[in-house]
Structure 1
């Protein structure tokens, strides 16, 4: 199993990584084994297990075992799960993780920075959505530029002094190129907005505004499984556009 996505940026030691792999391979039994049992099986101490949980941003061993299960379980095609999948296309799903106030704040930031450049960044499939957001903003009269992982880092660095707002899109929330740009933008006084999956992640943690969108397949790096993440991001963009247009009308801006 590829666990790079959930360990990226966590700085795990070799022992901690071995323990994590053991837990993932024995999720059905590790809670019965307990911290001591897992420690014995891996010839390490209980403190190593607890340190691993903290590094992975979990409250403890039980919380870690419970939440890691969501990364490994394959959804069964039950009627309820099919219904949940279809419900994922509704705006209500977005508001399960975000407040409408966040949407309004984002629209306000766009209006405040109307005379500056908005920079949008994403890689892979997220880059496709980033292009859509860029074109949407440009069509609304906002100066906007986008880049993907294949573009030179100089494009980002050379626009920092003219940048008013930075959008970073990452389904996993652990894309290092997105995280690094959010940190750099903040260090240069630029307001940052992250759009990621709903789980706790480093990209969202560094952003000023964090929009969480449900991602049903957290280890599907190739985006081969049916997933409402990207359609939901598109809906989020349209909601932000709606609030921005409303603000422009209130302020007499065409």
Structure 2
């Protein structure tokens, strides 16, 4: 059972990790036993176990144990079963470079900018990174332009999303980042476009409807984009971040 599912993004003491390990490893044995008895077995107090459960995001011990017994206990996901169906070999080097930028700028924000339908994907990426403990700032077209320009010194990198690669506001923000020597990561459709010329790193997703700017027709672009982002965040958070000079 992968304890990262429970502890990712949390700061836990060695004692708390030991409590989790015991509860995870002995769900069958402790099922139905009073909390006070369980606490005595691991030399702690019932209150400590309740506080731990709340720290992990549960309302209390009962909800925590239900989760262990009915979800994590039967989880069979392994690395072998995860199939992203993307050519990871072509992008892993870029991800490693982005990790190095992040590792050397942990005091700054990764800023994400997108508009329209891409803005929905940007919000998902923002939340996905936050729950993994990555400091991010989400900016949309409806926000003040000064959010980025007035905080430029606090931005480690700019992530932008543009299906067409020609979104004027996206290009504007990328140009601003380039002026201030801030690395820019672009997620876009395949082909040559203006945004590509400004990107430090570009992740292209095949777009079978490049001229459907209103996203009216069927398109697998955003679905594949989400899958790509899931892979990148997974690699980003499971690979040790080591600062490089």
Q: Distance in 2 between matches of 1:137 and 1:170?
A: 19
Which residue of 145, 151, 158 maps to 1:153? 145
- CA contact 1:113–1:165 (8 Å) conserved in 2: no
C-alpha deviation, 1:130, in angstroms: 0.6
Could you tell me which runs of 5 or more consecutive residues in structure 1 were left unpaired when the two chains were aligned: 1-89
Which of 226, 240, 244 is the aligned partner of 2:232? 240
- The 1-side partners of 2:89 and 2:224 are apart by 12
Specify the structure having the higher radius of gyration (Cα): 2
CA distance in 2, matches of 1:178, 1:238: 22
Q: Is the 8 A contact 2:189 2:204 kept in 1?
A: yes
Alignment partner of 1:225 is 2:214 = no
Partner of 1:133: 125
- Counterpart CA distance in 2 for 1:112 and 1:225 is 42
Maintained 8 Å contact 2:95/2:236: no
2:203 to 202, 211, 216: 211
CA contact (8 A) 1:108 1:244 kept: no
Matched, 1:169 2:169: no
8 A contact 1:103–1:239 mirrored in 2: no
CA contact (8 A) 1:107 1:240 kept: no
Q: Deviations over 1:22-51 (max 9, x none)?
A: xxxxxxxxxxxxxxxxxxxxxxxxxxxxxx
Q: Distance in 1 between matches of 2:100 and 2:88?
A: 22
Separation of aligned partners in 2, 1:226 and 1:219: 12
Whether the aligned pair in 2 keeps the contact of 1:182 and 1:206 (CA below 8 Å) is yes
Q: Following TM superposition, by how much is the alpha carbon of 1:228 offset from its aligned partner in structure 2, in angstroms?
A: 1.3
Show the 5 A alignment for 1:41-190. 91-92=84-85, 94-95=86-87, 98-190=90-182
Rounded to whole Å, the distance in 1 between the matches of 2:216 and 2:89 is 24
Cα pair 1:97 1:213 within 8 Å, conserved: no
**Secondary structure of 2:188 counterpart:** strand
Question: For the residues of structure 1 that align with 2:144 and 2:185, how far apart are their CA atoms?
Answer: 21
Greater length-normalized contact order (CA 8 Å, ≥ 6 residues apart): 1
Conserved? CA contact 2:177–2:183, under 8 Å: yes
Alignment RMSD? 2.0
1:98: how far off? 4.3
> Normalising to structure 2: TM-score of the pair?
0.60
